[in-house]
């Protein structure tokens, strides 16, 4: 009797972490809502010699380095974290800095 009770308790305790690790059915709040996605500009096609980065706060993050926007800015309509920016001698950010909009 003692052995089967101990085996039952151990099997219950070993299954407990699996029950705790089951993901909840609540939506992920880190996903941007649709109105936020509409405001971001799609990445324009890359022109040869320009390197793609992404907005990170007020700057353009390119290869792990945050560079200050020289043309345009990463905030406001069409900007925001994750929006596209380009680098070639100067840093081109959304909101006035896209290639060909100068």
CA separation, residue 9 to residues 14, 26, 44 (Å): 9, 31, 60
Q: How far apart are CA 71 and CA 97, in angstroms?
A: 5
Does residue 43 contact residue 1 with C-beta atoms inside 8 Å? no
From first to last of the 102 residues of the chain, give the pLDDT tens digit. Answer: 566 777 776 666 676 555 455 555 555 444 444 444 434 556 666 667 778 888 999 999 988 999 999 988 888 877 888 888 888 889 988 876 655 444
User: Alpha carbon 32 to chain centroid distance?
Assistant: 9
Structure tokens at 9: 């308790």
Helix, coil or strand: residue 14: helix
């Amino acid at each position: 009797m003692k052995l089967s009770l101990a085996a039952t308790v151990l099997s219950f305790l070993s299954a407990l972490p699996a029950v705790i690790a089951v993901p909840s059915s609540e939506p992920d709040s880190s996903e941007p809502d649709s109105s936020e996605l509409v405001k971001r500009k799609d990445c324009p096609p890359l022109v040869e010699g320009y390197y793609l980065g992404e907005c990170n706060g007020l700057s353009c993050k390119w290869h792990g380095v945050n560079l200050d926007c020289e043309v345009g800015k990463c905030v406001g309509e069409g900007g925001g974290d994750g929006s596209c920016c380009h680098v070639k001698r100067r840093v081109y950010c959304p909101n006035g800095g896209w290639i060909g909009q100068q």
